[in-house]
């Protein structure tokens, strides 16, 4: 069967926010990932509607990209909930180092939040009266985690595996290894007995072998020419920003390439600094093509529709 356990509920989110997974039993009401800051009020409303008078007890973050932890602060202000984050991110969160946390690097934002504990690969969480193994999922993010319930053959994969691909391999933009780690994560998923995947973006899916085949194929394509990963990263980050602010100018986007480290690194892999205006124009023109998410009006770039962003 491809149904979710009674204790597990998925809030499939749209543009900007990751999915949220609510897991509830008599002992604990836990939320896996909290979406982007722009949608924090909506995240809280979804949780309140599902829980009624019951409080949220626990937040678990698979990783700390802004679209997965942007609702943490508001949820913590609403309920006295515990919060577990990847152990390798503890110092960055404790000192709120936005550079290490990638918020500045991606030209995104996240309200400051705290944490009460950490999790790491090898740990086990009991949520929804089920045991969940914590698995490492580096590649998209060096510190990313997945949760696997062997009893239900259910995998919360975050951005390590979607039905059609996976998240941008950000470490490769900075000259760090990421493709090999993503390969290892996909191999590890292949070795698990999984009947249903809850991805970080998109609907839960049961055709796991087909999704893995597509992911392996895409990874091989990216590894063959790392510039493809850089171009994809720039497109994703540009669209994400536009879906947040709704409209901007070419000049503002060009400044963003200089100011946001991940965008700057991606652009540097593609063209010399003097050619960035032409690079940016070419990328925006592609994104403003038929059925694309953007439109161009002179020097202004505007979101065409509030649809689903290319997920990170």
Predicted confidence at residue 298, as pLDDT, reads 87
Region at 172 (left for phi over 0; alpha for psi -120 to 50; beta for the rest): alpha
Residues 57 and 178 grouped into a single domain = yes
* 296: exposed, middle or buried (Cβ count in 10 Å: 0-12, 13-18, 19+): middle
Spatial CB neighbours of 298, under 8 Å, sequence gap ≥ 6: none
Residues 163 and 252 grouped into a single domain = no
Give mean pLDDT, residues 129-140.
98
How confident is residue 1, by pLDDT bands cut at 50, 70 and 90?
Answer: low
Residues 104 and 174 grouped into a single domain = yes
Residues 58 and 143 grouped into a single domain = yes
Predicted confidence at residue 291, as pLDDT, reads 85
Give the mean pLDDT of the chain.
95
Neighbours of 131 (CB within 10 A): 14
Residue 263 maps to a domain = yes
pLDDT at 307 over 60: no
Among 190, 224, 258, the domain boundary falls at 224
Residue 310 maps to a domain = no
Residues 106 and 212 grouped into a single domain = yes
Question: Which residues pair with residue 117 across a beta bridge?
Answer: 84
In whole angstroms, what separates CA 89 from the centre of its chain? 15
In whole angstroms, what separates CA 197 from the centre of its chain? 15
Residue 167 maps to a domain = yes
- φ and ψ of 127, to 5 deg: -135, 135
Q: For the chain, how far is it from start to end, CA to CA, in angstroms?
A: 30
The DSSP-derived string for 28-94 is -EEEE----GGGHHHHHHHHHHHHTTSPP-EEE-S---HHHHTTHHHHHHHS--EEEEEGGGHHHHH
Query: What percentage of the chain has pLDDT greater than the value 70?
Result: 97
Residue 309 maps to a domain = no
pLDDT at 162 over 70: yes
Residue 207 maps to a domain = yes
Residue 230 maps to a domain = no
Distance CA 266, CA 231 (A): 7
Predicted confidence at residue 302, as pLDDT, reads 95
Express each pLDDT in 237-264 by its tens digit: 999 999 999 999 999 999 999 999 999 9
Residues 279 and 206 grouped into a single domain = no
Residues 58 and 165 grouped into a single domain = yes
Distance CA 50, CA 48 (A): 5
Residue 71 maps to a domain = yes
Task: Kindly report the CATH number assigned to the domain that includes residue 219.
Answer: 3.60.15.10
Residues 176 and 137 grouped into a single domain = yes
Predicted confidence at residue 306, as pLDDT, reads 52
Give mean pLDDT, residues 103-117.
97
Predicted confidence at residue 290, as pLDDT, reads 83
Among 193, 224, 255, the domain boundary falls at 224
Among 162, 192, 224, the domain boundary falls at 224
Residue 2 maps to a domain = no
Predicted confidence at residue 309, as pLDDT, reads 46
Q: Which domain holds residue 90?
A: 8-224
* 39: exposed, middle or buried (Cβ count in 10 Å: 0-12, 13-18, 19+): buried
pLDDT at 311 over 80: no
Q: Tell me which H or E stretch contains 143.
A: none
The DSSP-derived string for 194-224 is -SEEEESSS--BS-HHHHHHHHHHHHHHHHH
Residues 30 and 126 grouped into a single domain = yes
Residues 240 and 277 grouped into a single domain = yes
Give mean pLDDT, residues 7-20.
96
Residues 220 and 88 grouped into a single domain = yes
Express each pLDDT in 48-94 by its tens digit: 999 999 999 999 999 999 999 999 999 999 999 999 999 999 999 99
In whole angstroms, what separates CA 304 from the centre of its chain? 23
Domain count, the chain: 2
Residues 62 and 145 grouped into a single domain = yes
């Amino acid at each position: 069967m491809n149904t979710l356990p009674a204790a597990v509920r998925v809030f499939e989110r749209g543009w900007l926010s990751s999915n949220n997974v609510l897991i509830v039993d008599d002992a604990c009401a836990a939320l896996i990932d909290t979406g982007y800051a722009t949608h924090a009020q909506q995240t809280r409303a979804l949780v309140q509607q599902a829980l009624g008078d019951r409080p949220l007890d626990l937040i678990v973050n698979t990783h700390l990209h802004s679209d997965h932890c942007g609702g943490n602060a508001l949820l913590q202000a609403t309920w006295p909930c515990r919060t577990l984050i990847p152990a390798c991110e503890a110092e960055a969160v404790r000192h709120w180092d936005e550079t290490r946390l990638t918020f500045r690097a991606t030209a995104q934002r996240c309200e400051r939040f705290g944490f009460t504990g950490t999790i790491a690969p090898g740990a086990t969480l009991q949520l929804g009266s089920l045991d969940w193994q914590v698995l490492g999922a580096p590649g998209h993010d060096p510190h990313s985690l997945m949760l696997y319930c062997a009893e239900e053959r259910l995998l919360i994969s975050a951005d390590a595996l979607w039905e059609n691909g996976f998240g941008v391999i950000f470490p490769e933009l900075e000259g760090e290894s990421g493709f090999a780690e993503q390969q290892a994560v996909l191999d590890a998923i292949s070795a698990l007995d999984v009947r249903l995947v809850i991805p970080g973006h998109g609907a839960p899916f049961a055709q796991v072998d087909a999704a893995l085949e597509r992911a392996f194929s895409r990874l091989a394509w990216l590894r063959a020419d790392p510039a493809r990963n850089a171009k994809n990263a720039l497109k994703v980050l540009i669209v994400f920003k536009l879906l947040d602010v709704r409209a901007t100018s070419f000049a503002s986007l060009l400044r963003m390439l200089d100011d946001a480290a991940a965008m700057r690194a991606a652009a540097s892999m593609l063209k010399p600094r003097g050619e960035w205006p032409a690079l940016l124009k070419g990328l925006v023109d592609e994104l403003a093509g038929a059925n694309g998410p953007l439109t161009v009006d002179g020097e202004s770039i505007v979101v065409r529709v509030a649809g689903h962003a290319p997920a990170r």
